[in-house]
C-alpha cells in the first residue's frame, strides 16, 4: 500500500507538469509584486511547521535523529545557495521542487523501510531520481516548462536530503549494512533503470552538434547543419498553412522553434552590447531558422525579422566572424557520438543489472551448499 501511494504521488507530479506552469502564472498575475515573497514565505512556513512537529514527536534517540534532520536542512540550504541563479522567481520555484522531491523520497523510504538493509536507502534514492528524470523529460516536451539536466541533479540532491531527514523522522527498527538475500537483484535492476532513464533523457535533451559556418563562426544545435536546412524547409511549408501555438497547454513543444527563439533572444540581448555578435545571431536565424523570423508572438505584434534599416546598419558595423562561437542555447549540449554514448549506457545497464543477479545467485548457491553440508554432518 505504501509503495502504491508513492507511485500515485509520483505519477501526480509527472502528469501535473503541464498544469504547474499555468497555476504559477495565475498566481503571478494575481500577485505580480509579491509573488516571489509569497512563494518563499509559504515554503518557509511549511518547512518550519514540519520541523517543529517532527522535533516535538521525537522521543527516542533524540540527539541523533534531530541531528540528522538538522543535517538535511543544512545541506539543502547550502545546495540551494550554491546553485541559485540570482533571479528570485526562478530560485523560489527551484526550492519548491526541492521540497517536492524530498517528500517523494520520504514516501518511497516508507515503502522500503522494512527491508532493514542498505537497499532501504538505495531503492528509494533510485526511484526518486527516476521520477525526477521522467518529470524533466516530460517538461522538455511542454511549451510552458523547461527540462534540463541541472534540474535532474537538483531532484537528486533533494532525494538525498529527503532520505537523511527520513532516517531522523522514522529510523528503521532494524538495520544492517550487509545487503540481505535478494536485495542486490533489486538494487541492480533499480540502478540499471536509472541509467536507462538518464540515457534517454540526455539523448533527447542534451546530445547535439557543432554547426560550422564561415560567415557566423559556429553554434550549438541538437541538429546537424543538413538537418537544420531540411527542417527550415519543412517548417516554412507547415507554418504557411497554420502558425504554431507555442503556449498551448497540451501541445508538444517544437524544439526547432525553441532553438530559433533562443537565437532571437541572444540577438536582441547583444544588440546594444556587441553589434557583431548580434549580426552573427541574425545571420544564423536567416540561414537556418528563417521560417521563425516571420512568426508573430501575437497577431498585433511584429515578427522577429529585423527591419531593412536595422539589418543594413548591423551589416555595415559587424566585424569578421573568425573564431566566433554563439552561446545562445543556454543549456549544455554534449557533442558526443550517439553510438558510443549508447554503447556505454548499455554496458553500464548490463553491469548493474547482471552483477546484482549473479551475486544473489552465488549467495543462494553457497547457502544451499552449506545447508546440505550441515545436513550430512
| 180-237 tens-digit pLDDT | 777 888 888 999 999 999 999 999 999 999 999 998 999 999 999 999 999 999 999 9
- CB atoms closer than 10 angstroms to residue 55: 15
DSSP label at residue 274 = -
Q: b/e string for 97-133 if b means 16 or more Cβ within 10 A?
A: bbbbbbbbbbbbbbbbbebebbbbbbbbbbbbbbbbb
Q: b/e string for 337-353 if b means 16 or more Cβ within 10 A?
A: eeeeeeeebeebbeebb
| 331-368 tens-digit pLDDT | 889 999 999 999 999 999 999 888 877 776 776 655 54
d(CA 51, CA 31): 28
d(CA 203, CA 225): 18
Grid look-up 529527503 returns: 162
| 70-120 tens-digit pLDDT | 888 888 888 877 877 777 767 777 788 888 899 999 999 999 988 888 888
pTM value is 0.82
Amino acid at each position: 500500500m505504501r509503495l502504491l501511494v508513492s507511485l500515485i504521488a509520483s505519477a501526480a507530479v509527472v502528469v501535473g507538469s503541464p498544469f504547474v506552469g499555468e497555476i504559477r502564472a495565475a498566481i503571478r498575475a494575481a500577485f505580480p509584486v509579491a509573488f516571489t515573497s509569497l512563494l518563499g514565505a509559504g515554503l518557509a512556513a511549511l518547512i518550519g511547521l514540519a520541523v517543529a512537529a517532527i522535533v516535538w514527536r521525537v522521543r527516542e534517540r533524540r540527539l541523533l535523529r534531530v541531528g540528522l534532520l538538522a543535517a538535511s536542512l543544512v545541506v539543502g540550504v547550502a545546495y540551494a545557495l550554491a546553485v541559485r541563479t540570482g533571479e528570485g522567481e526562478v530560485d523560489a520555484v527551484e526550492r519548491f521542487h526541492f521540497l517536492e522531491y524530498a517528500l517523494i523520497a520520504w514516501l518511497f523510504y516508507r515503502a522500503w523501510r522494512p527491508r532493514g538493509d542498505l537497499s532501504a536507502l538505495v531503492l528509494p534514492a533510485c526511484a526518486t531520481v527516476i521520477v525526477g528524470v521522467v518529470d524533466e523529460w516530460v517538461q522538455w516536451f511542454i511549451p510552458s516548462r523547461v527540462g534540463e539536466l541541472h534540474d535532474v541533479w537538483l531532484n537528486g540532491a533533494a532525494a538525498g536530503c529527503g532520505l537523511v531527514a527520513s532516517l531522523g523522522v522514522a529510523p528503521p527498527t532494524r538495520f544492517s549494512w550487509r545487503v540481505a538475500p535478494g536485495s542486490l537483484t533489486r538494487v541492480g535492476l533499480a540502478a540499471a533503470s536509472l541509467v536507462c532513464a538518464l540515457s534517454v533523457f540526455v539523448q533527447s535533451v542534451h546530445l547535439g552538434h557543432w554547426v560550422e559556418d564561415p560567415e557566423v563562426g559556429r553554434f550549438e544545435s541538437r541538429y546537424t547543419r543538413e538537418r537544420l536546412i531540411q527542417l527550415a524547409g519543412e517548417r516554412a511549408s507547415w507554418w504557411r498553412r497554420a502558425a504554431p501555438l507555442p503556449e498551448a497547454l497540451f501541445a508538444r513543444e517544437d524544439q526547432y522553434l525553441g532553438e530559433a527563439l533562443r537565437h532571437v533572444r541572444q540577438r536582441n540581448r547583444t544588440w546594444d552590447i556587441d553589434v557583431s555578435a548580434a549580426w552573427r545571431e541574425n545571420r544564423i536565424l536567416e540561414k537556418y531558422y528563417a521560417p521563425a523570423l516571420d512568426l508573430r508572438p501575437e497577431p498585433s505584434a511584429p515578427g522577429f525579422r529585423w527591419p531593412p534599416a536595422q539589418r543594413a546598419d548591423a551589416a555595415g558595423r559587424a566585424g569578421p566572424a573568425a573564431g566566433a562561437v554563439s552561446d545562445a542555447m543556454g543549456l549544455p549540449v554534449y557533442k558526443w557520438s550517439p553510438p558510443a554514448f549508447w554503447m556505454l549506457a548499455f554496458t553500464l545497464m548490463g553491469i548493474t543489472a547482471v552483477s546484482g543477479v549473479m551475486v544473489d545467485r552465488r549467495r543462494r548457491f553457497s547457502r544451499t551448499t552449506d545447508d546440505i553440508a550441515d545436513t550430512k554432518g
